[in-house]
Structure 1
Amino acid sequence: MSAARAGEVLGVNIKALREARGWSLSELARQSSIAKGTLSQLEAGTGNPTIETVFSLSNALQVPVSELLTERSVPEVVLVRSADLEVLSSNAVDLRLLRRLDLTDKVLEIYDQRVRPGGVQRTDGHPGLEHVVVTAGVLRVGPVGGTFELGPGDYVCYPGDVPHVYETVGGPVTSVLMLEYPKA
């Protein structure tokens, strides 16, 4: 999906979720701590969201991030090309949503995650569990005050609703991030 198409999908999903709750743009701005003008641009498909913006919207609307970023379809075969994906960036992390899986009682989002050398990403928390598998590099990750150092092939799972951190140890890190949410 091109960046322009991804922005359109995000805009359509934000508007649909906001309207389903009977919220005005002002109410969503209040709930998410995002400026009304920024939300208007996002709904129009012309904004440039950051990871923090998308997670703030996810928390405010109480939906998984993938609910905001994906079109609804159920193909038998799914091929995702990294080059076609919208990148959500922060000061340290680049995320690409590879797939959203709607399971019986859970939603699972699978991301390609890249952490830049010297980068530190702190997150206040969000619903669900985080699953992390490092594929290259060394990553310090987990709840603040109780992080783990992961190398290639290492895996950790922890509650996402507590403040947590992603930090490189040395060079760049590539990993798979899976966010597991209870189904709404």
Structure 2
Amino acid sequence: MTRAAEATGVGAGVGARIRALREARGLSLSALAAQAGIGKGSLSELETGQRNPTLDTLYAVATPLGVPLAALLDDHDGAVVADDGVVATRVRVLREPGRTTEVYLLRLAAGVERSSPAHPAGVEEQLVVLSGSGQVEHGGRTVPVGPGDHVRFAADVPHTYRAGPDAPLEAVNVIVTPVTPG
């Protein structure tokens, strides 16, 4: 069992949500796997609950489905997903006409890097650093961050959060996803 599943127990529920979203969009298993850049067998195992999700896999699948990460996770505040030195705890999700706003408490262990693929067009992220230091890379820019710093950027490009080598980076991460008419 992956650390993501140990932290959340989300494997079967996530798989069912992915399958339902894929089918609602008329995507085949092969098409979604190709768009997400993961193996068809891996996606099949994820959908059937035989494989537990990692944060990287969830982001990879959410983007071609056109949904925020929250649409794949347990739908309650306090849900946790963790892997490879990264822990994201859902603080709040606000669904409004025209957008979904997700708020996470993000913790990266010292020296850990979290790279995210481009989100769908129009998605914006904000990071407010609570403790530690590091860097945020987006759109060809590298921005050093420390306690109290705020970074806001278009997240429809690949982006990376990196903790400094000496201490964990703790931050509030806000992701705003426009809702597209379906």
Q: TM-score, with normalisation over the residues of structure 1?
A: 0.82
Distance in 2 separating the partners of 1:105 and 1:41: 33
Distance in 2 separating the partners of 1:23 and 1:162: 24
Which segment drifts farther, 48-57 or 141-150?
Answer: 141-150
- Residue in 2 aligned with 1:162? 157
1:23 shift after superposition: 2.2
Q: Is the 8 A contact 1:49 1:88 kept in 2?
A: no
Distance in 2 separating the partners of 1:180 and 1:54: 17
Question: Deviating runs (4+, > 4 A) in structure 1?
Answer: none
Distance in 1 separating the partners of 2:117 and 2:40: 22
Change (3 A) 1:27 1:145: closer
- Residue in 2 aligned with 1:178? 174
The alignment status of 1:87 with 2:81, answered yes or no, reads yes
Distance in 2 separating the partners of 1:63 and 1:11: 15
Runs (5+) with no aligned partner, structure 2: 1-6
Distance in 2 separating the partners of 1:53 and 1:42: 10
Change (3 A) 1:145 1:20: closer
Runs (5+) with no aligned partner, structure 1: 72-77
Equivalent residue of 1:141, what SS?
strand
Q: Is the 8 A contact 1:143 1:162 kept in 2?
A: yes
Q: Is the 8 A contact 1:70 1:100 kept in 2?
A: no
1:144 shift after superposition: 5.3
- Residue in 2 aligned with 1:9? 13
- Residue in 1 aligned with 2:93? 100
- Residue in 2 aligned with 1:56? 60
Equivalent residue of 2:34, what SS?
helix
The alignment status of 1:42 with 2:37, answered yes or no, reads no
Distance in 1 separating the partners of 2:91 and 2:46: 21
- Residue in 1 aligned with 2:115? 122
Identity %: 37
Distance in 2 separating the partners of 1:167 and 1:24: 35
1:42 shift after superposition: 1.5
